[in-house]
Every structure is written in structure tokens, then in C-alpha cells.
Structure 1
Amino acid sequence: MRDDVRRFGPLAGLALLVVGGYALRALVRSAVVGEMSRTGTLPWPLPAFGTTGETVTVYLLGVSLVSYVAIPAVAFALGYRFRRTADRAGPQSQ
């Protein structure tokens, strides 16, 4: 039973990572894009970068960097770890 938990821990981490990435994207889009298009200011004290369009672009670029670079890199690492855990468990677990 404990080996099953260890084997599926990376898969749970991957699921949380993907859901967290989508939640981050939705939060930034609704907060930054929505609020700045209505009022022209950010909803909380975050730094602004030049004009409203430049600020929105910088924040969306940061979210894209996380979505398209960091999440796949961590997913690859979790997949690698999952496979190594399965290899160490032996042929009976496959």
C-alpha cells in the first residue's frame, strides 16, 4: 500500500501543477486584464510598467512563461521521477 502511494505521488503533483497553472492564468486574466480595462489601475499594489497595455503584456508574458516553460519542465521531472520509482519497485509493479 505504501509503495502505491509513493508511485502515484508524482502523478498527484502533476495534476496539482496543471490545475494550478490554469488557476494562475484565470486569476491573472480576470484580475489584471479585467480590472485594468475597467479602471486603468491594478486591483492591489503591483508594479505597473509604463502604459496599461505594457503592464498587461508584462503580466501575461509572465503567466505564459510559467504555463509554457515551467509547467512542462516540472511535468518532465515528475514523469522522470515516476518512472525511476517504477523501475526501482521491480517488474511486479508494472
Structure 2
Amino acid sequence: MRQLTIRGFDAELSRCIQGLAAREDISLNQAVLKLLRRGAGLGRESTGVHVVGSSLDHLIGTWTADEADEMERAIEDLAHIDEAMWR
């Protein structure tokens, strides 16, 4: 498929596309293709753009069991509620 017509862009999505095109000095078509590829999980280049939901993906599965245990111990006290603070 070489060409596709997409309708129904709302104002927020249009601003996002135009902003990406302006920031990266690329055409609107290139910006749309870039966003489509990113949304499809293809071509994960680092653009510095915050992507909600996947920006920490590179950390998933990177801790060893010892590191995970250490983190659990470090935050253990945070699980306790200090009732005096809520009076």
C-alpha cells in the first residue's frame, strides 16, 4: 500500500502533527508517517518526545533478583501509613 487517505483529525491531533513537523523541520506527511510507525511499535528512535505508557519500557526486565530485593527493602517503610499524619 503506497497511499492512504485518513479523515477525522481533531484539533489536538492536528496540533501534535504540526508541532512535530515544525520541531523536526519535516513535512506533515513525514510527521504523520513517523507517528504511525511509532504508534505501531516500529522504528523506535530516540526523539526526546515523552510517550505516555512506553517511556520506561527500556527498564522492564533489567533488574536482577538481588536488585529487585534491594529495592523492595529500600521502599518497605513507605508501605506503612502514619496515622498521626492524617489527624
Same fold (TM over 0.5): no
TM-score after normalising by structure 2: 0.30
TM-score after normalising by structure 1: 0.29
Higher helix residue share: 1
| Larger relative contact order, structure 1 or 2 (CA cutoff 8 Å, min sep 6) | 1
